[in-house]
Amino acid sequence: KFVPRVFSGMQPTGNLHLGNYLGAMLNWIHMQDTHECIYCVVDMHAITVWQDPKELRRAIVDVTAAYLACGLDPKKSIIFNQSQVAEHAELAWILGCTGRIGWLNRMTQFKEKAGKDKEAASVGLYTYPVLMAADILGYHATHVPVGEDQKQHLELARDIANKFNIDYKDAIEASGFADGVFFVPPEPYITGPATRVMSLRDGTKKMSKSDPSDLSRLNLTDDADTIARKIRKAKTDTEPLPTEKDGLKGRPEADNLTGIYAALSGESLEKVLGQYGGGQFSVFKNALADLAVARLGPVGEETKRLQADRGYVESVLKDGSERARAIAAPIMRKAREIVGF
């Protein structure tokens, strides 16, 4: 009854970085050949923290350009921005009435992003995971490729789907869903050697757009010199690299950098350690810098080229939002009927 369908998104709040690329984007690209895929620029999530409107408008196009430069193909996938399909917001309201305050109170991302003064955070930042559940459930998506940090939000989406199916069991069956399942609990798809890329400056913090230090991340638009410099300056300990995976325990920086190498090269971690283990960090860092420049350089160039071709990128979004709406609208109509509207 439910076709395998992929949904995922990123916020237009700055340049995409290596964490976005290795944690999510590589899987997005591969899944295009095996699944029906819907990739969203989640601009409504972005305004949970205040954004300058002009900047936001530009960032929506810039992130879409990065999607295309990484290899998302509008012929294979639906590529659009969230705010253009009103069903996301409409369904989020219904799901907000299904989810429980106690569930939201457990979300660690809110605690991190709200900081010390939780009372001063926006209501949207707090209910962000409910909108995310609507993004996914509103397309009856079955698989959600994301980084490790999104695992808890995915569990919440599953809990909301299950509770909705129980709360409205009779109405769901009366609407033609004989097995009582209207919302499929989506499967997180978190896989690869770099599902959680850490900061280059602090191996205990995740690489993030919001880190004030630009040295902490590789942006997809960084030029070759910048990439090489950031890797040279990356924090490490003083021991040589281990020859086995076990030796990475308690060494977050070595673990992170070798994981990045494995993800970028497509080689196993064992093979990377076999080649560089026992040697000095500096030798490994030079090899990593060359690899990162070779892999990210062309993506950055293509991103910049597409960012200058705004008309084309906007046409991709417009076409994508029409195709997205064609899937979301009938599901939303059913959801309305089920709850009694």
Give the footprint of ligand ADP on this chain (CB under 6 A).
10-11, 19-20, 23-24, 146-147, 149-150, 195-197, 206-209
Instruction: Kindly state the greatest CA–CA separation across the chain.
Output: 67
Tell how far CA 221 is from the center of its chain: 18
Q: At what angle do helices 281-307 and 252-265 cross, to 10 degrees?
A: 50
Q: Which residues are annotated as a binding site?
A: 11-13, 19-20, 135, 147-149, 197, 206-210
Measured from the CB atom, the residue of 6 and 197 that comes closer to ligand ADP is 197
Q: To the nearest whole angstrom, how small is the minimum distance from the Cβ of residue 148 to ligand ADP? A: 6
Nearer to ligand ADP, 317 or 332 (CB): 317
**Is residue 113 among the annotated active site residues?**
yes
What token pair was written down for 53? 């409107």
- The single-letter code of the amino acid at 93 is W
Residue whose CB is less far from ligand ADP, 83 or 195: 195
Instruction: Verify whether residue 75 is a known catalytic residue.
Output: no
Amino acid 332 reads M
Instruction: Write down the least CB distance from residue 180 to ligand ADP, Å.
Output: 30
Catalytic entry in 76, 151, 209, 235: 209
The owner of tokens 């996301």 is 88
Q: Which of 76, 113, 245, 334 is catalytic?
A: 113
With respect to ligand ADP, which residue has the nearer C-beta, 108 or 280?
108
Binding residues for ATP: 11-13, 19-20, 147-149, 197, 206-210
- Whole-angstrom distance, CA of residue 209 vs CA of residue 109: 14
* Cα-to-chain-centroid distance, residue 180: 30
As measured in angstroms, the least distance from the Cβ of 181 to ligand ADP is 26
The answer to whether the CB of 308 falls within 8 A of the CB of 65 is no
Euclidean distance between the first and final Cα of the chain, in Å? 25
Distances (CA, A) of 261 to 69, 111, 240, 245, 266: 21, 31, 16, 14, 8
Residue ranges at the known binding site for L-tryptophan:
135
Decide if 271 is catalytic: no
Closest approach of ligand ADP to the CB of residue 340, in Å? 34
Catalytic positions: 113, 206, 209
